[in-house]
Structure 1
């Protein structure tokens, strides 16, 4: 199993219902990772690549459609030399988007079961991909309320069909241990990322000692406090690069980076590209609702 696991802070905010990414690439270069959102990932023309979801690994065929629950590690890797013409569409949405009381209604039972099964990751067969790929790809073209209705419709059509469970739920369960403290820590960082934040500030806010907080973050996420704070800031930077026309320097300073050279270095390490390249790559290919 891959040893380095990256905790992604997605650009999806609490004000978004969901987000859609569409991109073309010649290879997979994003590390194995996990995040708080559910993710539906449609990948075309990537046959021979390897998929990792939780404890499950598999070489995939040309067309791939996977739903991954919150905090489940996942990612795709190249297993053969040369460049491919990969098309990838990713939909990310909050675990509480539909609400527990809504999901308990009889008409929502299939979706509720599918979302529960996604805690171990699930893959959909070729016939489902053929039937729903165009709707998933064109979801970003829907507006406002229509987009929500279409997303629910897509989830329903996925839920009433066949799918394969990929992994046991233990991986997500491990990462949900002490989830309340993790949530408090990251809520504080999300609310104060624009300012100078120290480990002492966060520890005081969540009522633990700085030493305990540092050990807890390292144990829970695999990263130090500064690394996690940078992840939060880079997540907000990514959101602003896509959604605003502010200059890169303005965005960096607005997100708590006081040294532009250091910011550019951190961004390149986290995203494997420069801020300018990231903005150009995603311009016009992402929609928030």
Structure 2
């Protein structure tokens, strides 16, 4: 194993404040891959071609970007990559994870925000439509001088974000399997996820999992599709890729060893599927992470 730790950012957010907002104009991204205990909402404007890293998701961003991360151990960063603009506008909001207590989030009026925070444990990126809706609210928030009203405005922003039907989770569950809560409310689906997380390195047959769930294969496939919007094979592949991504970062095993250990039957198949799903080969993914990772 490689004994490394990620750069741990020390936020200027004080224990007595609910949140902090930092607005800046910058020409480049120079902060390494890092973690911090605070939840973070990050809006980026005019940085097309920059690269976003959240967990095992590595993507090139568009002209505008809005991401929420509520997981204190989820690695994230933005890199210059193919960015050409020298006039980036960034608004970063950090708030304590206990800003909204569990009891408060369990109230009927807060359920959508509770669900948003749960999804954002893997990092979520918001749709263009929602960005357009909250952009003015974010810019108004930067000008608010009354701290109480600024908190109310933040809650309004979080509510609007929670209604986004087009938001997309970034990191895979298996990549962060030891640091996220249960992903699904359905106990049957959690049973499937637990089984796949424990046995992804083995040969897993659809018939065996369907039998475990007391379903026919056809019924089980419909069940998985309904709850995950993925086929069973794609769902299992994503779990295996999440485990492989974590191993590529945290272990010194060879790429072939990682592929076999994560349930892929040969190296070429592992490389092909990884590149198709993540846009990078396993080697490129590992090199990219190590290049931007700071040891402390």
Q: 1:155 aligns with which of 153, 158, 161?
A: 158
**TM-score, structure 1 normalization:** 0.57
Q: CA deviation at 1:5?
A: 2.9
* Aligned residues of 1:120 and 1:172 also touching (Cα < 8 A): yes
CA RMSD of aligned residues (A): 2.1
Aligned residue for 2:132?
A: 130
Change (3 A) 1:82 1:131: closer
The alpha-carbon distance between structure 1 residues 7 and 175, as it changes in their structure 2 partners (threshold 3 A), is: farther
User: Shift of residue 12 of structure 1?
Assistant: 1.1
Greater radius of gyration (CA): 2
Q: TM-score, normalised by structure 2?
A: 0.56
Match of 2:82 among 67, 80, 83: 80
Deviations for 1:28-48, whole angstroms, at most 9, x for unmatched residues?
A: 111111100000000000000
Following the alignment from structure 2 to structure 1, what is the Cα–Cα distance between the partners of residues 54 and 126?
A: 14
> Residue 117 of structure 1: which of 111, 116, 119 is its match?
119
Q: Distance in 2 between matches of 1:34 and 1:137?
A: 26
- Paired residue for 1:52? 53
Aligned partner of 1:11 in structure 2 is 12
The runs of 5 or more residues in structure 2 that have no matched partner are 181-249, 251-293
Match of residue 166 from structure 1: 170
Deviation at 1:156, TM superposition (A): 0.3
In structure 1, list runs of 5 or more residues that go unmatched: 177-221, 223-269, 271-289
For residues 175-208 of structure 1, give each alpha carbon's deviation from its aligned partner in whole angstroms, at most 9, with x where no partner exists: 68xxxxxxxxxxxxxxxxxxxxxxxxxxxxxxxx
Shift of 1:79: 1.2
Number of aligned positions between the proteins: 176
Misfit runs of 4+, over 6 Å: none
Given the alignment, which residue of 123, 138, 141 partners 1:139?
141
Deviation sequence 1:82-124 (CA, Å, 0-9, x none): 5521000000001110111010011100000000111100000
Q: Tell me the distance in 1 between the aligned counterparts of 2:97 and 2:59.
A: 26
